[in-house]
A and B are shown apart, each in its own frame.
Chain A
Amino acid sequence: MALFHLGFGDVAISLILMAVAIALSRLEGLGIERSLAIGTVRAFAQLTLIGFALKVLFQVNSPWLLLAVLIVMISVASYESVRRQQSRLPGLFLITSITLSLALIVSLGVVALLIIRPDPWYNLVVLIPLSGMVLGNGLNIVSLSANRFVSEMKLRRASVEVALSLAAPPRKALHPAFKNAVSGALIPSINALMTVGLVQLPGVMTGQILAGLPPVEAVKFQIVIMMMWITTGVISGVVATLLLMTRLVNPRWQVRWELI
């Protein structure tokens, strides 16, 4: 049983915090007021909608429904990753879809089927929240690493061309850009892993404790979630950037600079 109950009025009071953020953005000329405002409306609408939708989905509970929900989630995540890029990258929608599907298969395969073992195996109550975490983190890492990879390629164009002209394969010539892109995208995840429990109390664990679960139980879940979260991040960064590399280099070992 929940220790605290929130009414919709209580939730609405949290808008005070967003008002502070928007005021600060306006004061300092950050230019993100519109995004914050739209994001707030979307968050309220999307979360309210999904709250009701999950109630229905959990009652129906079928493997086909699970598959349909996952396809919708992956498609939305892939669309968002394309929208968040500074330049139009070829095939990024497909790259993100493949990457997130792979991350989902690996993560859910271990966490759901080996650790949590829901009954039935396709139990939406377990799998949809876990998938949301995997896809959300994967989307962030794909967006960050793709963006950084393109910036690094542009920045390192001269040394990339030198390496290629010395007969280095594209994977080797682009490795410094690849390494910086993926490791840079993973900095927030690695920081979170290093400071979890000391600085950060993750949302899942906090939510479970506030909802009345004993802290030790909440911690066990959180450890599993952290492992899944980090692995998802690494898989997403590595796979998406490697797939992007194959789109930006042709079989003649030539970089298609015109695409970036």
Chain B
Amino acid sequence: MLTLDSVWKSNSESPPDFILKNCSFSFRERSIYAVVGASGIGKTTLLRVLNNLTSIDRGRILLEGQDISMLHPSEVRRRISMLFQTPAFVGDSVRENLDFAARFARRNDTDFSTLMEMVHLDHTFLDRTVVQLSVGQQQRVCLARTLVTKPDILLLDEPTSALDDKTADGILELVREISQQEEFLTIFVTHRRSHARKLGQVILEMAEGTLRSLS
């Protein structure tokens, strides 16, 4: 469903240091992949490349056989949604954040109360300001926001790194439940192998610029 075909990606240093080196891998639909690797190895860059937030130097990324560089950026980002490491917002209230996502995903019919239920938050949260929420609740709101676009693929960039173990487990369980229910292809990156084992159906290791299967 999503394929990396001989992808090279360097940082902007001079001389360039390659983060992805001739990386090839095919992610299958309706599966949960956990990518482990040390901090700074390039896991976030991998997701940023897949979400079209940054360009690759060489190679191709194929979404259902189509090169994503040939697709309009908005289409790529509607179909591939990303949850970031640290919660960040595009509006003051929960509702404003969901509205923002709905507007650009052209999903004006989205029922926000149902979305809140999906991330195990009461619908009264909709009118709360995001700064009033705990980090765990904020990350659930961000997860709900990524769901507004009804993506095919969900990218998760260490979304539990700022959370305590109990809250992190809750988020991981929630992601598993939603991924299976919505039949997403989910790619989760983490430096914690325990988290990778909890969520991943397929566990990959990122090292020396490539991906290899551990499972």
Asked if B104 and A161 sit within 8 Å, CB to CB, the answer is: no
**Interface: A86 (CB within 8 A):** no
A20 at the interface (CB under 8 A from B): no
B149:A167 contact, CB within 8 angstroms: yes
Residues of B within 8 A of A165 (CB): 51, 53, 77, 81-82, 84
State the total of A-B contacts with C-beta under 8 angstroms: 63
Q: Report the separation of the CA atoms of residues A165 and B12 in the bound assembly, to the nearest whole angstrom.
A: 21
A159 is an interface residue with CB less than 8 A from chain B: yes
- Interface residue count for A (Cβ, 8 Å)? 17
Contact residues in A for B149 (Cβ distance below 8 Å): 166-167
Taking CB atoms, residues of chain A closer than 8 Å to B51 are 165
A168 in complex: contacting residue of B53, B69, B84, B104, CB < 8 Å: B104
- Residues from chain A with a CB closer than 8 A to the CB of B146 are 166
Q: Choose among A162, A167, A250, A252 the residue that contacts B89 (Cβ–Cβ < 8 A).
A: A162
For B100, give its contact among A163, A252, A253 (CB under 8 Å): A163
The reply to whether the CB of A158 lies closer than 8 angstroms to some CB of chain B is: yes
Output the nearest chain B residue to A161 by Cβ-Cβ distance: B53
Distance to closest chain A CB from B106 (angstroms): 9
Which residues from chain A contact B24 at a C-beta distance below 8 Å?
Answer: none
Whether B84 contacts A161 by the Cβ 8 Å rule is yes
Which of A163, A164, A166, A172 is the most central at the interface, judged by chain B CB atoms within 10 Å of its CB?
A166
The contact of B52 among A162, A168, A254, by CB within 8 Å, is A254
Which chain B residues lie closer than 8 Å to A250 at the CB level?
55
Asked whether, in the complex, the Cβ of B53 is within 8 Å of the Cβ of A167, the reply is no
A158 touches B84 (CB 8 A): yes
Which residue of B is nearest A252, CB measured? B73
Cβ of B105 under 8 Å from chain A = yes
A173 to B: closest C-beta gap in Å: 8
Which B residues are CB-close (under 8 A) to A159? 88-90
Nearest residue, chain B, Cβ from A172 = B104
* CB < 8 Å neighbour of A253 from B74, B78, B86, B90: B74
Determine whether A258 belongs to the interface, using a CB cutoff of 8 Å to chain B: yes
In the complex, how many angstroms separate the beta carbon of A233 from the nearest chain B beta carbon? 29
Contacts of A129 on B, CB cut-off 8 Å?
A: none
Nearest CB of chain B from residue A256's CB, rounded to whole Å: 9
* Nearest-CB residue, chain B, relative to A166: B101
Encode A206-236 as 1/0 by CB contact (under 8 A) with B.
0000000000000000000000000000000
Find the B residue at minimum CB distance from A163: B90
* B158 → chain A closest CB, angstroms: 14
Chain B residues whose C-beta falls within 8 Å of the C-beta of A168 in the assembled complex: 90, 100, 104
Q: By the criterion CB–CB under 8 Å, are A166 and B100 in contact?
A: yes
Contacting residues, chain B, for A164 (C-beta < 8 A): 53, 77
B54 contacts chain A at the CB level, 8 A cutoff:
yes
Which residues of the other chain, A, contact B81 by a CB distance below 8 angstroms?
A: 165-166
Q: Does A31 contact B (CB under 8 A)?
A: no
Interface flag for B145 (CB, 8 Å): yes
In whole angstroms, what is the CA distance A260 to B73 when docked? 22
Give complex CA distance A141, B76 in Å.
37
Q: Which 7 A-B pairs have the closest CB atoms?
A: A158-B88, A258-B12, A253-B73, A167-B77, A167-B104, A167-B74, A165-B82
Q: Please name 30 pairs of A and B residues whose Cβ atoms are closer than 8 Å in the assembled complex, sorted by A.
A: A158-B84, A158-B86, A158-B88, A159-B88, A159-B89, A159-B90, A161-B84, A161-B88, A162-B84, A162-B88, A162-B89, A162-B90, A162-B142, A163-B90, A165-B51, A165-B53, A165-B82, A166-B77, A166-B90, A166-B100, A167-B73, A167-B77, A167-B105, A168-B104, A169-B74, A169-B104, A172-B104, A253-B74, A254-B53, A258-B12
